[in-house]
Amino acid sequence: MNGGAQGFGAGGFADIFEDIFGDMMGGRQRRSSGGRERGADLRYNMEISLEEAFAGKTAQIRVPASISCSECSGSGAKPGTQPVTCSMCNGHGKVRATQGFFSIERTCPQCQGRGQTIKDPCPKCAGQGRVTEERSLSVNIPAGIEDGTRIRLANEGEAGLRGGPSGDLYIFLAVKPHEFFQRDGADLYCKVPISMTTAALGGSFEVTTLDGTQTKVKVPEGTQNGRQFRLKGKGMPVLRQPNVGDLYIQTAVETPQNLTRRQRELLEEFEQLSSQDNSPQSSGFFARMKDFFESFGEH
């Protein structure tokens, strides 16, 4: 597993989430009176294996995030002192300046719009009210989770400013491609190469499934390339449901290569002994094709 947390850039995901989820989540307030400010949302990219998506897991992640300062309880003022009402704006956060005929209102330069100033800043957070710390979080990854899933951990993002609410943490989950299995929803697909002789004579092989067990697959004689075998219930679990998908095994018949002289002799002998019954598809194929187009031309 690898990943890392990062803040949402301005105009990036944060805005997209606002647009999509803004109403659903009750409309977020970035800024409220008194300089309280909601903390930023954080994105954490996590990559897991298909085996982990199959079994589910509890992942421990470390998220560097600003949290409310424990020393001053987020006020930014030195313990034992309180922020005081800004003397320049009397707590309004805005000041008026008259320029000729115009009266312009602007953000108070003394308190930066907070309405309060801190005389004695907290030594731990330098008056910011929050400090950056790496936090350890435990994230439950449910069995059957799909690639591209977003998990939202409410209030686990950046701490708000001056007592504002925390942002959320979004885990963006990616499931790594598997060496042997392709996933389609709850079903898994696996291409299994078998030798030409196994395909012709019949036989069996064992596949290891995601639960770590072995399942025997019987290959009937005369098995063709691309034949599919269904192993019921050997696929992926369905998220928060008792259903389990299937595993489809698809044979890929391998044509022998690098023949010895003896093997070549045997195959040539086999060819001489072959009849149309041995390969009904290929026997006479080109003659049938030719006939088709010639009869087509007569009409």
Cβ neighbors of 80 (< 8 A, separation 6 or more) are none
End-to-end CA distance of the chain: 67
Which of residues 46, 50, 61, 86 is near Zn ion by CB under 5 A?
A: 86
For every residue of 258-294, which 3-state class applies, written as one string? CCCHHHHHHHHHHHHHCCCCCCCCCCCHHHHHHHHHH
Cβ atoms of residues 207 and 249 within 8 Å: yes
Give the x-and-dash track for 15-54 against Zn ion (CB under 5 A). ----------------------------------------
Using alpha carbons, list the distances in angstroms from residue 241 to 57, 144, 289: 16, 9, 51
Q: How far is the CB of 128 from Zn ion (least distance, A)?
A: 7
Check: CB of residue 242 under 8 Å from CB of residue 227: no
For position 110 contacting Zn ion by CB under 5 A, the verdict is: yes
CA distances from 73 to 29, 120, 147, 159 (A): 21, 15, 39, 12
* 120 forms part of the interface with Zn ion (CB under 5 A): no
> Quick one: which of 42, 63, 125, 249 contacts Zn ion (CB under 5 A)?
125
Closer residue to Zn ion (CB): 88 or 266: 88
Q: How far is the CB of 114 from Zn ion (least distance, A)?
A: 7
Here the tokens at position 290 are 């030719």
Q: What is the closest distance, in whole angstroms, from the C-beta atom of residue 160 to Zn ion in the complex?
A: 14
Please, what is the minimum distance in Å from the beta carbon of residue 41 to Zn ion?
Answer: 23
Helices (H), the chain: 13-21, 50-55, 196-201, 261-273, 285-298
How far is Cα 271 from Cα 278, in angstroms, rounded to an integer?
10
Minimum separation from the CB atom of position 90 to Zn ion (A): 8
Please give the single-letter amino acid code of residue 147: D
CA distance 93 to 42: 28
Q: Which of 89, 139, 161, 249 binds Zn ion (CB under 5 A)?
A: 89
Sole binder of Zn ion in the list 14, 111, 190, 199 (CB under 5 A)? 111
Among 14, 46, 50, 108, binds Zn ion (CB under 5 A): 108
CB of 83 to Zn ion, least distance (A): 11
Between 144 and 163, how does the x/- string for binding to Zn ion read (CB under 5 A)? --------------------
- The site for Zn ion, by CB under 5 A, has a size of 12
Q: Does 77 bind Zn ion (CB under 5 A)?
A: no
Residues that bind Zn ion (CB under 5 A): 69, 71-72, 86, 88-89, 108, 110-111, 122, 124-125
